[in-house]
């Protein structure tokens, strides 16, 4: 696996070396002895632009090294040449990193690009729609936020933590709209998921203090 990652990381340089060897072989031994080297060089160059180095990001994401992940993303100079599903993941990851850095405008821009391209997995699409909903909440665009979050639940979310977050956001939106019965129902759904993320647990505790006292 480490060897494969090294190949991906240094693929352009390896391609240049292999291409140089192919040219030298072609000069001194003819085309057919150099054919395999040409083929390897072409495959390396093609995969560099078509698939990119996104596989390298996994290791950084698993260790929480977002700076390392961002460096890999920034190394992609021609994202429009990426295979469409990979391009979608590229923009989604850029959006996630921008959101972590509280660059909400950049996050929204990149996530929209990812969604427009179509996500390779419905759960990933649902997660992106949920984040778009939260970005809309940041801008106080309640109507758009509700639309995105409802779409995220329809598409499917990857785990109970995300589902609970979605229901809590809808609970907050319904309270803003004074639709208290719906707010209570969304809160009940969020609580029943028994989320363990501290932020969500704390939010549930805060809402629970007063939701029983509201009408509906």
- The pLDDT score that the predictor gives to residue 42 is 96
- pLDDT at 212 > cutoff 90: no
Q: State whether CATH 1.10.3470 applies to domain 53-118.
A: no
91-139 per-position pLDDT tens digit: 999 998 998 888 989 999 999 999 999 877 777 889 999 999 999 998 8
Q: What percent of the chain has pLDDT over 70?
A: 99
- The pLDDT score that the predictor gives to residue 65 is 87
40-97 per-position pLDDT tens digit: 999 999 999 999 998 888 888 778 888 899 999 999 999 999 999 999 999 999 998 9
The length of the chain in residues reads: 216
- pLDDT at 12 > cutoff 80: yes
Residue range 196-209: mean pLDDT, rounded:
91
Sign of the dihedral defined by the CA atoms of residues 64, 70, 71, 75, in that order: positive
- The pLDDT score that the predictor gives to residue 102 is 87
- pLDDT at 31 > cutoff 80: yes
Residue range 166-170: mean pLDDT, rounded:
96
- The pLDDT score that the predictor gives to residue 1 is 62
**What mean pLDDT, rounded, does the chain reach?**
91
- The pLDDT score that the predictor gives to residue 60 is 85
- pLDDT at 169 > cutoff 80: yes
């Amino acid at each position: 696996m480490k060897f494969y990652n090294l190949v991906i990381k240094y693929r352009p340089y390896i391609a240049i070396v292999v291409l140089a060897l192919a040219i030298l072989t072609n000069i001194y031994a003819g085309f057919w002895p150099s054919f395999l080297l040409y083929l390897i060089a072409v495959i390396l160059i093609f995969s560099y632009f078509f698939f990119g180095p996104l596989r390298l990001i996994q290791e950084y994401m698993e260790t929480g090294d977002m700076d390392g992940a961002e460096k890999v993303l920034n190394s992609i100079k021609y994202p429009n040449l990426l295979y469409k599903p990979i391009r979608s993941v590229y923009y989604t990851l850029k959006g996630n990193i921008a959101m972590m850095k509280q660059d909400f405008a950049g996050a929204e821009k990149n996530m929209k690009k990812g969604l427009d391209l179509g996500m390779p997995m419905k759960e990933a699409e649902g997660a992106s729609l949920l984040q778009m909903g939260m970005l809309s909440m940041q801008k106080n665009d309640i109507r758009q936020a509700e639309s995105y979050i409802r779409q995220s639940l329809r598409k499917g979310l990857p785990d109970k933590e995300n589902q609970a977050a979605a229901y809590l956001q809808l609970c907050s939106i319904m309270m803003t709209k004074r639709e208290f019965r719906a707010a209570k129902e969304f809160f009940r759904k969020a609580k029943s998921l028994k989320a363990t993320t501290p932020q969500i647990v704390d939010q549930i505790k805060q809402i629970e203090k007063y939701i029983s006292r509201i009408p509906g």
